[in-house]
Amino acid sequence: MADPPAKPQWPQGGPLPQRFSSNYARYRERGGLLDVAEDARAYAGADKVLDKERFVFLSLAFDQIAKEGLTGDVVELGVYQGQTATILARNARRLGRTAWLMDTFTGFDAKDFVGADAGRGPQFTDTSLEAVRARVGEENTHYIKGFFPDTAAHLPPDGRYCLVHIDVDLYAPILSALTFFYPRMVPGGFIVVHDYGSLAWEGADKAVDVFFADKPECPIQMPDSAGSIVVRRQRPASAATWMQAKQVVPVGEWRPTANGQAASVLGEGWFRPEPWGVWGVGPSHVIGIVPDDPGLENFALDLDVHAVVQPSRPTLLVDVLVNGEPAAQWRFSEAENRGVRTLTVGRPAAVPATVELRPQSVLTPRDLNPASNDTRPLGVALHRLRVR
């Protein structure tokens, strides 16, 4: 058996979120995207000042992008020496996207010293495109050097983005960036603006407040050192939710439930996935399915299931509802307690088809063995499922 992945450490000590520390092995086993130790090392580079909260919340945003299956590229406007760009570029590579890294690479442009920023002087001049390239790398990464918004013309004309990190400190480029990127975000996409609430860069607060004043989305403040806000682009009410999008299953293929592989189609009434599959717990276990063939009006759903039967309860009856209507009653007995059971399911117009298993009684492992500490009310176990 392979060694569990080492628990990542933050370079300067102190706790990381549980999924990145105490539960890291489980996180990776369930397909977690990030290699946190390597990411933290790349982020730290030779820098002395490390903002752990910033690293964590940007990393968690990519976890969520992966979980929800958001499409689109990644942008950073305001790269400086490339510290936060390491997070964006590494995750863009993992997701198979492009990271567009945009900066003058010579510091502020005096054209931006207007309004609340009048009278400011040069800053962030101690960098170069070459140095950032060397730190952040080339794979899946495009560098765009120059003054924003002029450089927006170098982005693909049909570009769409799942995460845009705006870290340019000043009112004028922040407002231009929000104006440019907001309509180009995919539904659910993350817009992050650094320095909001820092009380050092008044223009950041002003630009965010002015821009979002008439938008349906609200900024949420993040606990990083200088302060950031995050906004997730609203999705149209008519679009499938990300959960519905994830409930699309390929036709004709078995999908195992082991280790969370079918987590997105399992609704209420399922316990944590285990290496063999998943237990239904309590009086009702719900499954939501969208076959990936839009022409399929009715489909067969195969469920490979089992239930515990024993002398004190030799049979278990399970009522099965399809799209809310009674469709079958399954009987589990000693002779017939594991196998594939098939349902005919009609495809509803706008929402996933649902199947609900309602065991007429449940047993806990303690019921079977009084020495057991396990008091989960176990119903029907699901090993794998298939649409055909």
Ligand X SMILES: C[S@@+](CC[C@H](N)C(=O)[O-])C[C@H]1O[C@@H](n2cnc3c(N)ncnc32)[C@H](O)[C@@H]1O
Nearer to ligand X, 89 or 353 (CB): 89
Residues 177 and 149 sit within 8 Å (Cβ to Cβ): yes
Report the b/e string of 343-370 with b at 16+ CB within 10 A: bebebeeeebbbbbbbbeebbeeebeee
Q: State how far the Cα of 18 lies from the Cα of 27, in Å rounded to an integer.
A: 9
- CB of residue 82 vs ligand X: minimum separation in angstroms? 6
- CB of residue 144 vs ligand X: minimum separation in angstroms? 9
Q: Does residue 356 interact with ligand X by CB under 6 A?
A: no
Nearer to ligand X, 35 or 109 (CB): 109
Q: State how far the Cα of 103 lies from the Cα of 47, in Å rounded to an integer.
A: 19
- CB of residue 285 vs ligand X: minimum separation in angstroms? 46
Q: State how far the Cα of 306 lies from the Cα of 331, in Å rounded to an integer.
A: 10
Q: How many residues line the site for ligand X (CB under 6 A)?
A: 20
Nearer to ligand X, 151 or 364 (CB): 151
x-or-dash pattern for ligand X, window 153-192, by CB under 6 A?
Answer: --------------xxxx--x-------------------
- CB of residue 233 vs ligand X: minimum separation in angstroms? 21
Q: Does residue 39 interact with ligand X by CB under 6 A?
A: no
Q: Does residue 141 interact with ligand X by CB under 6 A?
A: no
- CB of residue 98 vs ligand X: minimum separation in angstroms? 18
Nearer to ligand X, 46 or 237 (CB): 46
Nearer to ligand X, 27 or 108 (CB): 108
One residue of 19, 55, 84, 385 binding ligand X per CB under 6 A: 84
Q: Does residue 45 interact with ligand X by CB under 6 A?
A: no
Q: Does residue 228 interact with ligand X by CB under 6 A?
A: no
One residue of 113, 147, 242, 271 binding ligand X per CB under 6 A: 147
Nearer to ligand X, 80 or 212 (CB): 80
Q: Does residue 336 interact with ligand X by CB under 6 A?
A: no
Nearer to ligand X, 150 or 253 (CB): 150
Nearer to ligand X, 73 or 112 (CB): 112
Q: Does residue 242 interact with ligand X by CB under 6 A?
A: no
Q: Does residue 137 interact with ligand X by CB under 6 A?
A: no
Q: Considering only residues 95-134, where is the footprint of ligand X by CB under 6 A?
A: 103-104, 107-109, 112, 124
- CB of residue 118 vs ligand X: minimum separation in angstroms? 15
According to the 3-state scheme, what is the secondary structure of the chain?
CCCCCCCCCCCCCCCCCHHHCCCHHHHHHCCCCCCHHHHHHHHHCCCCCCCHHHHHHHHHHHHHHHHHCCCCEEEEECCCCCHHHHHHHHHHHHHCCCEEEEECCCCCCHHHCCHHHCCCCCCCCCCCHHHHHHHHCCCCEEEEECCCCHHHHHCCCCCCEEEEEECCCCHHHHHHHHHHHHHHEEEEEEEEEECCCCCCCHHHHHHHHHHHCCCCCCCEEECCCCCEEEEECCCCCCCCCHHHHHCEECECCEEECHHHCCHHHECCCECCCECCEEEEECCCEEEEEEECCCCCCEEEEEEEEEECCECCECEEEEEEEECCEEEEEEEEECCCCEEEEEEEEECCCCCCEEEEEEECCCECHHHHCCCCCCCCCEEEEEEEEEEC
Q: Considering only residues 19-38, where is the footprint of ligand X by CB under 6 A?
A: none
x-or-dash pattern for ligand X, window 61-80, by CB under 6 A?
Answer: -----------------xxx
Nearer to ligand X, 83 or 247 (CB): 83
**Which residues here bind ligand X, judged by CB under 6 A?**
78-81, 83-84, 103-104, 107-109, 112, 124, 147-148, 167-170, 173
